[in-house]
Amino acid sequence: MRRREFITLLGGAAVGWSVAANAQQAVKVARIGWLGQNLAANPEAREAFRQGLRDLGYVEGRNFVIEFRDAEGKFDRYPALAAELVALKVDVILAPNTGAALAAKQATRTIPIVFIGTSDAVGFGLVTSLARPGGNLTGLSSLDAHLVGKRLELLTQAIPGVSLVAVLWRPGEVEGADKIGLKGTEVAARALGVRLQFVEARGPEDFDRAFSDMTSAGVGALTTLPSLMLLNERRRLVDLAAKNRLPAVYFLRHFVDAGGLMAYGVNDLDLNRRAATYVDKILKGAKPADLPVEQPTKFELVINLKTAKALGLEVPPLLIAQADELIE
């Protein structure tokens, strides 16, 4: 073989090796960990996140995979499941609630964590500040626990003259969240001139007793503090409210889709979809410490007019005018 042919052949091989190497780099598969709670109850959230990634050009199985870990209603399982994701050396961890975010933070100081829907990222110690998170966590806030007063106000608009409102809550789901929600509800109740009947439900097995307590007390309406357990059990909760003829306002529209009267809060599916932008930036080299926590700027009011009719309730026109969506 002539020397010139050999050099040409060698150069072509080098180009081929370079192309192959670049191709291998191009198809690097990002591994995303998802630390969830009762995944079967809320598949829409995961699909919204997947859609967010697809909108950014990702293809599942080709350049990203998701490692799901499900606490299945047992919050004390979070630490072990977070440790599993760390051991897998995932590229980023998705924490779709405050409890999951706290557990992930305890499990790693290096793997980026994107939280979704926490009500007070600074108060819970997830970040140093919203503008400069400062560690390995960032994400999207929901402000849920701070909206209980607005929900109570909407109830009084829907049911003029209501004097006693039940507040259904699950104690101890996330340390500190109860205090925020309970205090906000009490402050709003005083301003609106209504009395509150706080009713605990630590699990679905407490629902029948809880509603019995409400009816015995003569409450005229119901509101709930944000809770994953209540969200996961929304169909039974909505059915019991209907059975006991209690108008209720909830913290997410999923309750209204299941037949509840009203909901006011963030669009959680939109939060999950937008979380994909944080993951994308992190996979491209951005540091969570430099990505500001996103605060919601829009809240949605959804009213189920079919439920209102079944309850014999005529929703005031002013409230209907405020609604972002009416289910008829």
Domains and CATH numbers, the chain: 25-143+268-290 (3.40.50.2300), 145-265+300-327 (3.40.50.2300)
> Which whole number is the average pLDDT over 16-30?
58
Long-range contacts of 65-70 (CB under 8 A, 24+ apart): 65/29, 65/30, 65/31, 65/32, 66/32, 66/33, 66/34, 66/94, 67/31, 67/32, 67/33, 67/34, 68/34, 68/36, 68/39, 69/33, 69/34, 69/35, 69/36, 70/36, 70/37, 70/38, 70/39, 70/40
Q: Is the pLDDT of residue 175 over 60?
A: no
pLDDT at residue 174 in the model: 63
Q: Which of 72-76, 113-117, 175-179, 269-273 has the lowest mean pLDDT?
A: 175-179
Q: Is the pLDDT of residue 240 over 50?
A: yes
Q: Does residue 200 contact residue 186 with C-beta atoms inside 8 Å?
A: no
pLDDT at residue 251 in the model: 93
Q: Is the pLDDT of residue 81 over 50?
A: yes
> Which whole number is the average pLDDT over 37-59?
93
Q: Does residue 279 contact residue 114 with C-beta atoms inside 8 Å?
A: yes
> Which whole number is the average pLDDT over 283-296?
95
Q: Is the pLDDT of residue 21 over 50?
A: no
pLDDT at residue 263 in the model: 97
Which residue intervals of 2-111 are DSSP H helices? 3-26, 43-55, 78-87, 98-107
pTM: 0.85
Determine if residue 245 is left, alpha or beta; phi over 0 gives left, psi from -120 to 50 gives alpha, anything else beta.
Answer: left
**Which residues fall within 8 angstroms of residue 23, CB to CB, at 6 or more apart?**
none
The whole-chain average pLDDT of the chain stands at: 89
Q: Is the pLDDT of residue 18 over 80?
A: no
pLDDT at residue 12 in the model: 52
pLDDT at residue 247 in the model: 97
Q: Which of 168-172, 249-253, 285-289, 290-294 has the lowest mean pLDDT?
A: 168-172
